[in-house]
Structure 1
Amino acid sequence: MIKVVRGNPTPEELAAALAVVRARAAAAAAEPSGADSAPRDAWSDPSRTAGRRVPQPGPASWARTYWPS
């Protein structure tokens, strides 16, 4: 059920919004159930920093303290 909370959309605007919602639902249903919805990229992979030594205090150490999760 779709409920308009604010405004007064035209029938065409409601049809467009419903088409988007239905297309997203169809795409989600077509995905295999074991598929990862958000694949991990190299930046958020913790193993990319595993081989490096722990940052030491210093002027540029703030740039090396972020650990992506």
Structure 2
Amino acid sequence: MTPIQVLHGQPTPEELATVLAVVQSRAATRAAAGPAAGPASSWTVRVPRPLPAPGPHAWRTSLWPR
């Protein structure tokens, strides 16, 4: 695990322990899921789309399927 560094403020030992517990828990969950889990949602998959051609109705046709 990469080192964690506090950049601003002075957290109490309890606050720091809480943050580290959450980070470690999330890292363990992600590691257990493995690489075959894929993206969390299909909304996060980015599909490159060509830019719309300039013209008076480009804004209207920019989301039409191509």
* TM-score, scaled relative to structure 1: 0.56
Partners of 1:24 and 1:65 in 2: CA distance? 38
1:20 aligned residue: 22
Q: Deviations over 1:8-60 (max 9, x none)?
A: 1101110111011011101101103212124424xx779xxxxxxxxxx54xx
Larger Rg: 1
Q: How has the CA–CA distance of structure 1 residues 6 and 45 changed in structure 2, closer, same or farther, with 3 Å as cutoff? A: closer
- Whether 1:62 and 2:64 are equivalent positions in the alignment is no
How many aligned residue pairs are there?
A: 54
Structure having the larger proportion of residues in helix: 2
2:7 aligned residue: 5
Partners of 2:30 and 2:62 in 1: CA distance? 37
Q: Hey, which bits of structure 1, 4+ residues long, moved more than 6 A?
A: none
Q: Per chain length, whose mean CA-contact separation is higher, i.e. which structure has more relative contact order (CA < 8 Å, sep 6+)?
A: 1
* Gaps in structure 2 of 5+ consecutive residues: 49-55
* Gaps in structure 1 of 5+ consecutive residues: 47-56
* TM-score, scaled relative to structure 2: 0.58
Seq. identity, %? 46
1:37 aligned residue: 39
